[in-house]
Amino acid sequence: TGTWSPALNNTATTTYTFTPTVGQCANTATMTITVNPSITPTFTQVAAICSGATLAALPTTSNNSITGTWSPALNNTATTTYTFTPTAGQCANTTTMTITVNPSITPTFTQVAAICPGASFTALPATSTNNITGTWSPALNNTTTTTYTFTPTAGQCAVNATMTLTVNSYLSGLRTVTICAGSSYTFNGITYTTSNNTAKDTLANANSCDSILTLNLTVLPLNAHTQTVTESGCGVVVHNGTTYNNSTVLRDTLYSQYGCDSIYRVTNIAVYPQNGLAVSKDTFGCNKLVYGGKTYLRDTVLIDTLRSTIGCDSIYNTVRIHIQKIYLNLSLNPEMPYEGEYFMIHTENTESDPYTIVSWSSASLFADQTLKSQQLALQQNTTVSVIGITAAGCRDTATLPIVVRPYRKDVMIPNAFSPNGDGRNDVFKPVLAIDRAYNLTDFKIFNRWGQVVYTTSNINAGWDGTSFNGSLQPQDVYYYTLMIIFMDGTKQVFKGDVTLIR
């Protein structure tokens, strides 16, 4: 045994001496511990790139032969500093390299004003207002509106730009005029009395490009003729909004759209006597009715008119078809009752027509056979049927097999819970084999000092590890009491400890 000196030094190579404890007849010994110097890896700097350009992978071996890895991953959209971490065991330091990513620039230009067709365009500038050089395509076109694309010279970190040069068109128009023979029309200072479709006038438009207006003049001749018409009716005739009960003759003069052609119209109003007879009947069908060789599925009114030889004395035959539909449906509330649990059976006509109940079966289960909804409590599976009828005597029968679930009073009380929001064991409450048909009373939680920290009578609630004011309770062992009252009136009281785990 013995001691070493001097104290250990992890920054430089050092020789250490071991001095034996006195009385062991042993000599001193030495040991030299070599400390190699740390090396900083060196790399060739990567040149700056434009945003989105390709970056070659950084070398995993430095210029001075140090191997390692780089982080983070290469990013060709933003300037980033990358760290090189040497592989363990090389006595090398970490180093960094910043790769500059220059942002892309959008060239800007002064918009060129619109021109008329054939006017000259000044050559588009090869240098943008923000000093980006490049070329335009396609070639300038002074006959139609065109969008031109500016392509920057390579190496400027710039994107393409566009400019639309507008070429305003020469407008042309047509002035259409119609006059009657004997009238005249003046166009561009010239008066016309005959049809003309070649005269033109030149006008300046809002775009300073001349517009050509062509005259389309039509001269209509004067032609008048007489028209005789007869309007007849049974009992009454309505002509131009006027009601006539007796025969008469009307005379009128009509003009065409342009007032040239005239029609001298004579209207003979003939009113014949009218004696009609109305006949109607109602007929009913269940879900459908065949009448006159046709099948009707909904309420319909059929109207037929039988006329005399002159078409006046008539029989108005009206048939009102009434279709009553009944499709009974049975439903339970709740849908899956327990043994001995009271539940409701509801009837419904899915066709919405009014109906009444004729009977229920098995009849022994239903004291009142005419109710549309019944209340039951069953101890075994049973099939129920009901017969309904509409006011017209249409009937339907609905049948429903009822399966009752066993009513089990099994109760399990957890001895620990962890309200940490992970969705598992977050709430402390009793676990029952049944999902309803019981009451929970006097559910209380006490801390170790006997203070009540939680109480509820809600069968769906549980303790989430908080007090009445919502504050979190600490991890500890708590005492609980609760009573469950089952459907048959029996009660079970539970007491015990539960551990809250945080």
d(CA 383, CA 375): 15
Instruction: Tell me, yes or no, whether 382 lies in a domain.
Output: yes
pLDDT of residue 313: 65
Instruction: Tell me, yes or no, whether 141 lies in a domain.
Output: no
d(CA 118, CA 147): 17
pLDDT of residue 261: 63
Condensed to tens digits (0 to 9), the pLDDT of residues 105-126 reads 999 999 998 888 888 888 899 9
Condensed to tens digits (0 to 9), the pLDDT of residues 133-161 reads 999 999 999 889 999 999 999 888 899 99
Could you identify the residue written with the tokens 């504050």? Answer: 471
d(CA 427, CA 424): 8
Same domain, 201 and 234: no
Could you identify the residue written with the tokens 């006017």? Answer: 119
d(CA 464, CA 467): 9
Same domain, 208 and 262: no
Condensed to tens digits (0 to 9), the pLDDT of residues 65-104 reads 999 999 999 999 899 999 999 999 899 999 999 999 988 8
d(CA 163, CA 375): 81
Condensed to tens digits (0 to 9), the pLDDT of residues 467-480 reads 988 899 999 999 99
Same domain, 346 and 312: no
d(CA 281, CA 292): 14
| Secondary structure (DSSP) of 390-456 | -TT--EEEEEEEE-PBP----EE--SEE--SSSSSS-SB--EESSSSSEEEEEEEEE-TTS-EEEEE
Q: Within 13 A of 139's CA, how many CA atoms are on the CB side?
A: 1
Task: Give the Cβ contact number of residue 447 at 10 Å.
Answer: 17
CATH number at 423 reads 2.60.40
Instruction: Tell me, yes or no, whether 159 lies in a domain.
Output: no
Same domain, 346 and 386: yes
Residue 376, SS3?
A: strand
pLDDT of residue 414: 95
Considering only CA atoms, which of 363, 369, 367 is closest in space to residue 382?
363
**Region for residue 241 given its phi and psi (left: phi exceeds 0; alpha: psi -120 to 50; beta: otherwise):** left
Instruction: Tell me, yes or no, whether 137 lies in a domain.
Output: no
pLDDT exceeds 90 at position 349 = yes
Its pTM stands at 0.41
Which residue would you say has higher pLDDT here, 358 or 201?
A: 358
DSSP 471: P
Same domain, 184 and 246: no
Same domain, 240 and 311: no
Condensed to tens digits (0 to 9), the pLDDT of residues 224-273 reads 667 788 888 777 888 888 888 888 888 776 666 666 666 667 888 887 77
Instruction: Tell me, yes or no, whether 343 lies in a domain.
Output: yes
Same domain, 481 and 420: yes
pLDDT of residue 162: 95
Instruction: Tell me, yes or no, whether 133 lies in a domain.
Output: no
Same domain, 392 and 423: no
Mean pLDDT of the chain: 88
Same domain, 429 and 464: yes
Could you identify the residue written with the tokens 């551990």? Answer: 499
415 contacts 497 by C-beta, under 8 angstroms:
yes
Same domain, 417 and 496: yes
Instruction: Tell me, yes or no, whether 447 lies in a domain.
Output: yes
203-212, 373-382, 486-495: the lowest-pLDDT one: 203-212
Alpha helix segments (H runs only) across 121-173: none
Which residue would you say has higher pLDDT here, 162 or 184?
A: 162
Q: How many helices (H) and strands (E) does the chain have?
A: 0, 39
Same domain, 492 and 419: yes
Environment class of residue 360 by beta-carbon count within 10 Å: exposed (0-12), middle (13-18) or buried (19+)?
A: buried
Number of domains composing the chain: 7
d(CA 99, CA 43): 12
pLDDT band at 309, cuts 50/70/90?
A: low
Q: Within 13 A of 21's CA, how many CA atoms are on the CB side?
A: 2
d(CA 231, CA 270): 6
Instruction: Tell me, yes or no, whether 126 lies in a domain.
Output: no
Residues in CB range of 69: below 8 A, 6 or more apart: 60, 84, 85, 87
Same domain, 432 and 452: yes
190-194, 209-213, 244-248: the lowest-pLDDT one: 209-213
Could you tell me the residue range of the domain that residue 246 belongs to?
A: 224-272
Environment class of residue 150 by beta-carbon count within 10 Å: exposed (0-12), middle (13-18) or buried (19+)?
A: buried
